[in-house]
Amino acid sequence: MIDIACERLAPDGIIICDNSEGYGFYEGFKDKGLDRVDFFGNAPGVVLPHCTSIYFKSTSFVFSPSIPIDLPK
């Protein structure tokens, strides 16, 4: 599925992988030319923390200064 996701990834898109500490995500994405940001945290009923990773190209919207930060009202 990693190959399919990378083929369909838009220039400004992102791929979000939940529970990315397992299932071979690191090995599958390491040669795809994407950057990665990891978010670690605890899940209900689980002792060890889990990781959600965001994979993206340098042209992704995630670092666009034109997108404002919306705070809850």
Q: Please state, in angstroms and rounded to a whole number, the distance separating the CA atoms of residues 56 and 15.
A: 6
Q: What tens-digit pLDDT sequence spans the chain (73 residues)?
A: 999 999 999 999 999 999 999 889 999 999 999 999 999 999 888 888 999 999 999 888 887 778 787 777 7
Question: What pTM was estimated for this model as a whole?
Answer: 0.82
Instruction: Tell me what pLDDT residue 40 has.
Output: 94
Instruction: Tell me what pLDDT residue 61 has.
Output: 84
Cα 65 versus chain centre, distance? 19
Instruction: Tell me what pLDDT residue 1 has.
Output: 92
Concatenated DSSP letters of 10-61: -TT-EEEETTTTSTTHHHHHTTTT-EEEEEEE--TT-SS-EEEEEEE-TT-G
Tokens of 45: 């009923």
